[in-house]
Amino acid sequence: MVHALVHWHTDFCTHVVCWLQGVVWRALWQCHGRAFVGTGFLKIIHDIVMFMPPFILEMLLKHMARGGSRVGALGWCLGVLGVALVENITVNVYL
């Protein structure tokens, strides 16, 4: 009898907690939904930008190995700088 009562109480509390979590998430979405979407978009941009420096550095090294012009190398270097700046800005932006 005690085991059945404890089991019922545990199931009841689990269902109540799950229901309350659903209510909390719904309330958070209603209050801060726009900020959640903006932050998610910013996170996607930051993740894409994080993968770019190794790719641009590889392109710079290939350009230099082919004996490319200095102006082209400068362009790739400025690309690395630009990506690093965008990455830094997206890390430090708070919505």
Please say whether the dihedral angle defined by the alpha carbons of residues 15, 16, 17 and 22, taken in this order, is positive or negative.
positive
Q: Total structural domains in the chain?
A: 1
What is the distance between the alpha carbons of residues 4 and 22, in angstroms, rounded to a whole number?
27
> Is residue 60 pLDDT above 60, yes or no?
yes
Look at the pTM and tell me if it is higher than 0.85: no
Note every long-range contact of 54-57, with CB atoms under 8 Å and residues 24 or more positions apart, other chains counting: 56/80, 56/83
> Is residue 9 pLDDT above 70, yes or no?
no
Range of the domain at 68: 2-92
Name the packing angle between helices 70-92 and 52-65 (round to 10°).
170
Q: Does an H or E element contain 1, and which?
A: none
Q: How confident is the model at residue 5 (pLDDT cuts 50, 70, 90)?
A: very low
pLDDT for the residue 13: 54
> Is residue 29 pLDDT above 70, yes or no?
yes
